Every structure is written in C-alpha cells, then in structure tokens.
Structure 1
Amino acid sequence: MMTQTSSAGVRASGRPVIGIPLDAEDGGGYSKMPWYALRKNYVESVVAAGGLPLLLPHEPALVEDYLDRIDGLLVPGGAFDIDPAMFGARTRHDTVVLKEGRTAFEVAITRGALARDLPVLGICGGQQLLHVVLGGTLIQHIPDEVDNALAHEQPNPRTEAGHIVRVAPGSLLHRVTGALEFPVNSAHHQAAKASGPDVVISAIATDGVIEAIEHPAYRFCLGVQWHPEYHISDADTKVFTAFLQAAKESRPS
C-alpha cells in the first residue's frame, strides 16, 4: 500500500522536519573539488529529539522551497566569521575569515524562517548570525575587547566543559532548561555585542561575554554560543527537546 504524502512530502513521516544548512569548502581535505559537509552530532541530536533532518545546500533561489518543506531551522556553527560590514563595522580584524556564500544563504533562510515564525535555533556561529539578523553587532575578537576573558576557544576537547554560563531568570532558556547555571563547551573567538530591538540576553559567561540570546516575539527564537549537540549537560538535551517540540507545534494541521 502506497503511503500518502502531503504537499510538503517530507512531512509525511510525522517527525518535524528540521532544515540544517551545510558547511562548504571550495576544495581540500575531503575532496579536491568543492564539497558540502556537516558534523554527524547535529543530525544525531535532531533525530534523538524526534526530528527529521533535512540538509540544505546553499541555493538562494530555493530558499522559499526549503521553507515550504521544513518545520524548524537549525543554523550550525563553523570555522569562519560574518563579514563585519554586515553589522556596520568599518574595519575587519585580522583573524576574521569569511564564507560569503554560506553566510548569504544562512541570512536569507533565517530571515525567511523568522518571517514565517518557524522555530529557529542558532548554535555558536549560528547564534552570531541570528544576533546580526536581529539587528545586533559582534565582538570581532574576544581577547582584544574583553578584559580577563575566559578561554572561549577552550584548549580541552569539545566533548568536555570549558566554563559555566549563568542564565537569566524567567527567560526562554531558563524555562527550557530549568537551570540558572550549567557547564558548556566553548569554541569561538567572536561573540554577540550590542543587541537589536527587543532581543533578550539570556545567558552570560562569568567574564561577561554573551552566551545566549532570544527574541520573545517569535514562537521559538534562541541562539546559544556553545555546542549543545555534544550534550555536555542535561541542559543541552533539553534545548534540543524544546526546539523539536516547538517545531512539532508549528506543523500545519
């Protein structure tokens, strides 16, 4: 017996469909030719929380088609930075590395997801991109702007904690995790700086660096500076669970 599919097709499984933009390189490492890639633990975390991952190549002309087929958007991290010109900076720090094609695609699909009020979860670089999309600016290099900064590019493995974060009482992150403090891993040299209109800073590190942002005007709009896909604590698992629940609730009836 043939299974009937909806107009969105991929939604027929009953699992919320989570779009995840891929990383991209022009060549080297995996292949001498241009390639796409994504760490497995992003996908595994979505599946474990009840979702169906849909990996998204950087095709700007297909943004609306992608959005028609997903119930939530996860913007992952990567070893690159957002062009400072995007948030009004007149100079670029020497450490800044760009992937302009990936960034342009992620900006377009994030704006589209927010316009449709689809749940959005930004992780590490994805948090920074979400912060800029919401009208914020970034610290271009933490050691140059934050006195007595923690080791936000932690020397120990990403599977271990690097520092703790302190959560704003009553925030979405607090409601999701049930915690006011928990350990996280840390793999970034940039961070959120000035916030856009109505953006809530929902977690900070002990050195004052912003670790999570959210926007209460949307169904679920959360950016975390750490990598919850490594599940350092129960709080990480709860972030994915809440994101998938919001995506499930956003599905068309």
Structure 2
Amino acid sequence: MSLSPPLIGITLDSEEPGGYSRMPWYALRRNYAETVARAGGLPVLLPHEPHLAAAFLDRIDGLVVTGGAFDIDPALFGAEARAGLVLKSGRTRFELAMVQGALERDMPILGICGGQQLLNVALGGTLIQHIPDEVAGALAHEQPNSRSEPGHWVEIAAGTRLAAIVGETRIPVNSAHHQAVRQVAPGCLINAIAPDGVVEGIEATDRTFCIGVQWHPEYDISPADSALLRAFVGACRT
C-alpha cells in the first residue's frame, strides 16, 4: 500500500459567461475537495478536455463524478428529450470519456447525484427524466431545506458493498435532483432506495469500486457519508 495520498480526480461544472466572469468558467463547491482531502486523498480538479482523458487517467488513482444543475442528454440512453431539460454537452462528453476510460482500467469511481446518473448511462442503463412526472406520490427530491440537512431517509440493501461500508440499514440523506435511475445498467444492482421507490444508489458488482449515490455525501451530514468517502479513497490506494 502506498504511503502517499492517492490522487483523486474530481470533475468540474461549467458555466457560460455571467456572474463570476464575463468569460466561460468552471465551478466546484469547496466541500467536494475538502471531504476527499479529509478522507486521505489528494484532490485534483479536471477541466473538460476529452482528448486529455487518457492522460488524466494515467495519472489519477480514482475518479469522482460530481453533480450539477443540468441533465444527461436522453439521446445517450435512446429516449426523446422532455421539455425544459438543461444540457451541458461539453461537460457530459468529457465525463463520459473519463468514466469509460476508468471502467476499462477498473479504476475506483464514485458518482455523486448527476454523477450516479451518468455512471448508470455509461454502463447501459436509462433515466427518469423528471421524477414528479413519472413517480406517483414522489418525495421532494429537490428538498426545500438546506443541503447541509437531511431531506429524507434511504434504505440500504443488505449484502451490498454500500451496506458493508456504512454498516446501517437506513441512513439520512440530502436530496437535490429531479432525475433518477429508471432501468439499472447491466452488471449493476440497487444498493439504496428512497421510501417512494426512487433508486438512490447503484454499484457495479464486477468492479473493484464502482458506486453511485443520488445524494451528496460531500456535505458529510452523517457517519455514513464520511465512511463512504473513506472507503472510496481507501480503494484508490491499492
């Protein structure tokens, strides 16, 4: 086992001119990098350069695919787009290149919120495009309270890697999404589910570490969140 901290690549969000800068700019909440560092990793932020994906993957030890206020293009999973979707094609193109390359190398991957959705699509699954339209009696998955507080609970599936990591059958989570997994990708199983039946976590059973969660563990609102980050960074050390 290496004594040096593993290098953890974290994907960035991108914005058009306005607000922070009159030029296009990247963005990332500090808590993504802070929690990776606290878990023992050395965080590095990844700009959207698909042609450099292989070079990034040659250098990093693990990949975090972050969330954001945008949607995965339904064309990627063979569906027609509903009205009102927000697409960031450059970001998605880069993240797909990174995820596909990481999967080929069996590099540890942690997908967070939209990162879980992208992971499911990259592995061959599909998405619900708007939960309120498709899930009767759905919870407020765009929770009205602060993301630093729980929005609801999720049940952790027994026998899964996530269950072994968190050591709980039910954990509180924050919730900031309007899309979710519909059809789970081949080779993956559901490891967490909300009371309304929405899939909250998936994992690939044939990979060293390949987990997606729909909530935001970087806010560290429960012991389960920090346990997940530590387990991910630990897998990146081998």
Q: Secondary structure at the match of 1:33?
A: coil
For 1:239-250, what aligned pairs fall within 5 Å after superposition?
239-249=228-238
Q: Secondary structure at the match of 2:171?
A: strand
For 1:77-92, what aligned pairs fall within 5 Å after superposition?
77-89=67-79, 91-92=80-81
Q: Please point out which of 77, 82, 87 is paired with 1:93.
A: 82
For 1:81-160, what aligned pairs fall within 5 Å after superposition?
81-89=71-79, 91-160=80-149
Which consecutive segments of 4 or more residues in structure 1 shift more than 2 A?
Answer: none
1:166-209 residue CA offsets vs partner (Å, 9 max, x unmatched): 01101011011001101000000000011121211111000000
Match of 2:214 in 1: 225
Q: Return the alpha-carbon distance in structure 2 between the equivalents of residues 13 and 99 of structure 1.
A: 38
Aligned length: 237
- Uncovered stretches (5+) of structure 1, i.e. residues with no partner: 1-11
Match of 1:53 in 2: 43
Match of 2:181 in 1: 192
8 Å CA contact 1:215–1:221 kept in 2: the answer is yes
Q: Secondary structure at the match of 1:214?
A: strand
Match of 1:5 in 2: none
Q: Secondary structure at the match of 2:237?
A: helix
Q: Return the alpha-carbon distance in structure 2 between the equivalents of residues 106 and 44 of structure 1.
A: 21
- Uncovered stretches (5+) of structure 2, i.e. residues with no partner: none
Q: TM-score, normalised by structure 1?
A: 0.92
Match of 2:18 in 1: 28
Residue 95 of structure 1: how far off its partner (Å): 2.7
Q: Return the alpha-carbon distance in structure 2 between the equivalents of residues 199 and 140 of structure 1.
A: 20
Percent identity of paired positions between Structure 1 and Structure 2: 62
Whose Rg is larger? 1
Q: Secondary structure at the match of 2:14?
A: strand
Q: Secondary structure at the match of 2:191?
A: strand
1:91-145 residue CA offsets vs partner (Å, 9 max, x unmatched): 2112310000000000000000110011000000000000101110000000000
Match of 2:61 in 1: 71
Match of 1:62 in 2: 52
Q: Return the alpha-carbon distance in structure 1 between the equivalents of residues 12 and 131 of structure 2.
A: 26
Residue 152 of structure 1: how far off its partner (Å): 0.2
1:166 aligns with 2:155: yes
Aligned Cα root-mean-square deviation (Å): 1.0
The letter for the 2-side match of 1:94 is A
8 Å CA contact 1:95–1:141 kept in 2: the answer is no
Residue 13 of structure 1: how far off its partner (Å): 7.9
Q: Return the alpha-carbon distance in structure 1 between the equivalents of residues 128 and 172 of structure 2.
A: 22
Residue 222 of structure 1: how far off its partner (Å): 0.1
The letter for the 1-side match of 2:10 is I
Match of 2:167 in 1: 178
